[in-house]
Amino acid sequence: MARVSIFPLSGALLLPGMDLPLHIFEPRYQSLIHDAMARDRRIGMIQPREEGPKPALFDMGCLGRISHIEALEGGRFNILLKGLARFRLVRELDVPTPFRQIEAEVEPIAEDDEILSAIERAALELESRRFADALGYVVDWTAVSRLDDMALVNGIAQIVPFDPAAKQTLLEADTLNERVDRIIQLMQIVGRAERGGGATMQ
């Protein structure tokens, strides 16, 4: 078990091996950053299930390490968080700090050894192109083609405009192949809604 100081943020997905830029402006999260920098530079990103001053949390989040920090006026920070490993919430702790802390089971830090088959990779790239075209995104596909499988899949998972619950399903996928399947399914749902004039999952 590990004690994890958390930053609950809806729609923000951190995955192992990936970077997440954050602008820290609320006093309680400024305190969180000060505390993390004084200890091990680690904080947990997790999504709230609802809105409110102390909302219930999803069961899974991702532990990250502050790899870069920029201090700004008024005590604000810009930070870059590097994803380390997923964690599962066990219980919330009763603490005096302005930021929330939990007890969590942290998974072993993943090795970047998962790869996709040529067919899976091609299907993901094809669906990503359709999705980008449907939403009017401009993408450097040459640069995309140079990414390794892990960076491609997890990068897409972090930036696609899906709703928080959909983002959570991507985090909770246990394998790269499972994450690819979920991304493609969600892109097809959103793409059909966009072409039909419906609402996107944002």
Q: Are residues 151 and 97 in the same domain?
A: no
Q: How many domains does the chain have?
A: 2
98 & 147 share domain: no
Q: Using CB atoms within 10 A of its CB, is residue 53 exposed (0-12), middle (13-18) or buried (19+)?
A: exposed
**100 and 7 in a common domain:** yes
CB 5 within 8 A of CB 44: yes
Q: Looking at the structure, do residues 52 and 10 belong to the same domain, yes or no?
A: yes
First to last CA, the chain: 34
pLDDT digits (tens), the chain, 202 positions: 999 999 999 999 999 999 999 999 999 999 999 999 999 999 999 999 988 888 999 999 999 999 999 999 999 999 999 999 999 999 999 999 999 999 999 999 766 678 999 999 999 999 999 999 888 888 899 999 999 999 999 999 999 989 999 999 999 999 999 999 999 999 998 867 665 554 444 3
Which helix (H) or strand (E) covers residue 164, if one does? helix 164-172
Residue 112 lies in a domain: no
**Residue 173 CB contacts under 8 Å (≥ 6 apart), including other chains:** 179, 181, 182
- Burial degree of 177 (CB within 10 A; 0-12, 13-18, 19+): middle
